[in-house]
Amino acid sequence: MRSAGAALADFGCVLLFVVIGRANHHAGGALTGLWDTFWPFAAGAAAGMAATRFWQRPTALLPTGVGVWLGTVAIGMALRVLAGQGTAFAFILVALVFLGLFQLGWRLVWRWVAPRLLTVDANVRQH
């Protein structure tokens, strides 16, 4: 179950990136447009998950988080080129920064929150 939640978080970061980017470029929210922008990055995230054996330590920053992040951007951009979509240098930088902040960021937050949740749960079970 932890793997599914972590995968959902990573794909959610990609979807958020796509939605914000399309809105900032006035591309609209049509489902086909969202899908056209989303699928290369989603495939990159999935490849990063496979390469890092994500299911073993889905919330780990290293190697999982970094691998998923870099896979999302590198493979996502390569697939965009193959699909005839744009990959301007500024777009690559924005993708690296945004997805890095979010795909690594949720893991950093989880590292801080998870132990506290376990402590609260243990305290509740004692009483």
Q: What pLDDT tens digit does each residue of the chain (127 aa) get? A: 689 999 999 999 999 999 999 999 877 668 888 999 999 999 999 999 999 999 999 999 999 999 999 999 999 999 999 999 989 999 999 999 999 999 999 999 999 898 877 775 555 666 5
pTM of the model: 0.88
Please, what is the angle between helix 89-99 and helix 66-82, to 10°?
150
Locate 71 and state its tokens. Answer: 């896979």
pLDDT at position 123, please?
A: 58
pLDDT at position 127, please?
A: 58
HSE on the CB side for 25, CA within 13 Å? 10
Of 88, 73, 8, whose CA–CA distance to 43 is shortest?
73
Residue 104 is classified by DSSP as: I
